[in-house]
Structure 1
Amino acid sequence: MPRSAIVLGAGMVGVSVALHLRRRGYDVVLVDRQGPGEGASFGNGGLIQREAVHPHPFPRAVAELLRIARNRAIDVYYHPLALPGFASPLLRYWWHSEPARYLRTAEAYARLIVTCIDEHLAIARGTDAMDLLRPIGWMRLFSDPRMLEETLARAEVARREHGVNFAALDGAGLAAAEPHLLVSRAGAIHWTDPLSVSDPHALTLSYARLFTEAGGSLAIGDATSLQPAGAGWRVQTSAGPVGAAEVVIALGAASARVTVPLGYAPPLFGKRGYHMHYGLRGNAVLHRPVLDTDSGFLLAPMRAGVRLTTGAEFAHAEAPPSPIQLERAEPVARGLLPLMDRLDNAPWMGVRPCTPDMLPIIGRMPGRNGAWCAFGHAHQGLTLGPTTGRLLAELMTGETPFVSPEPYQPARF
């Protein structure tokens, strides 16, 4: 008999897991409360970040901590009443960011990141998804020459140790590459490996179509209805109950709502983010995504317009949207590019699922036969979806994993 699985969560990670399982002969039902890619996979910078071999550590410099504590920044904003709920995971995040511990984390993180381009292309090649993947990389702009030199020195280490490619631009080179910038900068680093996705939602939908064309099934359902059923699992969907021998939880920041009732409580916490699209005046063009270091937000050319994506907001899970960072960023962005009016009726908001040790949770759920985890990718769910899908499918089928799964095992929490 074919093996069977329910995959809960139809973002980039869940879709990729479902597709890899289906290609290995599983009967798979992919369940979400909405359509594929309509959660956190919908709104992001659209970058498949081959250069991101080092995760973001918790800041340890006093000056940086004071800057964030003032709560006036664009890149980080917090709701003061929400901070007690973040105390434990953020303290653990700070502990894991100690330099020696961080080095071990970065080594494990890089083993996943270096696979991301190959794993995306393995799915997309020969399909309409290839039209969405632009090999243009992205640029980080610097007004401070010293900071630029320090970043280039770290980039050289990443090139030597992990094969990361980049190009250094001086001010004139940056102006030639992006002639419609309204500011001058000391220079930029152009990360040349990453793929820029012109429509992240469309990419997830494209992979979901590959899944259904291979015989997989989509269903609208309530992941919190998951229950053990005999030797397997059952979940309620709009078409009635669905059962399978195994279940994969790939619900991003909402994953703990399903795992905690099953006895597994990972220290998952969410960072909220927002985006808005804009037109450009006249014949202005943005050729590739740019992040201005001074302001800390990304501007990316997309099908829907130029997308401004904000940094991290810390808020209660049920708090209404509060796009304060977007309000702070927009006037700064208008000083960088000749932006026209907003193109969206309201800012989009999503939640990035983070872990204190900066590594995703991939593998067998402790204490539950036939239950598997695939969440906690923070800012890199789009980047690492296919990598995670392949790794988890290999674990579930007993294949030799193409990447050692040990650092990402759920049992570490």
Structure 2
Amino acid sequence: MAKLYHPTYITAYLQGVKESVAECDVPVDPLLDVIALVDTAPWDVAPLADSPMDYEADWLATRRAGLDLIVAMAAADVQFGDRSDQAWALLYIAATDTAGESWAPMDPLTRAINRDCTRAFDAAVPFVASELRADKPVRAEFIELLEFALTRVGNDGEEYRAVVARRLGWLRHALPDWTDDNIGLLFGVDAPPELAQLTVDLAIHWGAPNRWLFETAPEMVRSAVLRDTKQAVEHFMVALLGDWPGYRFDDVVSFITQHHGDYPDLASKAGTRISHIVSDDNIEQRHIDTAVQLWETLLDSTAASALGGFCWMHRAAALDDERWAQLTVRTIEKSHSGGRWRHGAIVRAMQVPVSRSKLAVLNAIVRRPLEQWERYHIGEHIGEVLDNAADLEQTVEYQQLDTALREHDMIRDEPKEDS
């Protein structure tokens, strides 16, 4: 290390070691010696170029690279041996030093992962997780660190809670008793003002669907859904498909219809998200059935005029063509909705075998305003569709589509050749 005197080069060295941790034997003792050394900012930094943008002008990036290396070692289950307390101490001290500036204009998690103290706090989780995998107990100092994080206020509180929220599923797994005992501190009356709801919002935004959260804080979850917090409606639909208590079919239908007046887009957003979920190739039929039941039920409700999102069900290959087409026609006719789903619906309706219901879908779409490229796509392929539907030429659906195409100048009678 004698030649790597400048933090620019030491930083690059630590970053390089981090990239290879999972592939080679790691010399724990010498690496921790280096990490501990740079943590002290051991000497003044000499300039390497005219602009400090071209080199590390201080030890901050080097310290961060050292902590990142500890995290990478923990994630790879590298054994720290008798140096584990020292590695932990480096993380703990950095995680509780809130002197660094916050990137206030950005969202809480982006600020957190770009601020040294909350970045170190986030790094403490994989370190403790590694110790748990090695059958070691959770450190008491980690509990202290959690409580320290959850009692911060202002921007500090937002950033520390962003880390907790993202890791909430793991915390519930690793510390079930602690999470049960600290519900009030997490998102209850013991949380600093306005940070309880924020914690729920962030947990939904950045975490996987969490049944414990949905059952523990139902009012805050529903608030997140109504405010269209990122991922909230999708997680709400996962809860429906999972038949979670409080989010069963009747609960969800009642919630959507009761709030339709104040939140008229909620039903459509639910349709978009559940369509996305059940479009997975490995979806179970029972989930398709639940999605279709929700679609049908809302078509007969006060929210029937705002269900355009369900038209994305054209992506659900496991949904029977006829059922899909019939419900799509009903939805278009009731909501007069348009959107980016139209192209996919057009493509599916044009696929063989052609049916009366599919012709009805095309008719309903053609009779509403279309983008020019949609008109072009229909015009390019509709002749083949009508040829494939020759056996249906006398049906009402065929005649209505033929009329609509002519009214919108998408097909014309070809002039007869002179004999």
Structures share a fold, TM > 0.5? Answer: no
* TM-score scaled by length of structure 2: 0.20
Greater strand proportion:
1
Greater helix proportion:
2
Larger radius of gyration: 2
* TM-score scaled by length of structure 1: 0.20
Higher relative contact order (CA 8 A, sep 6+): 1
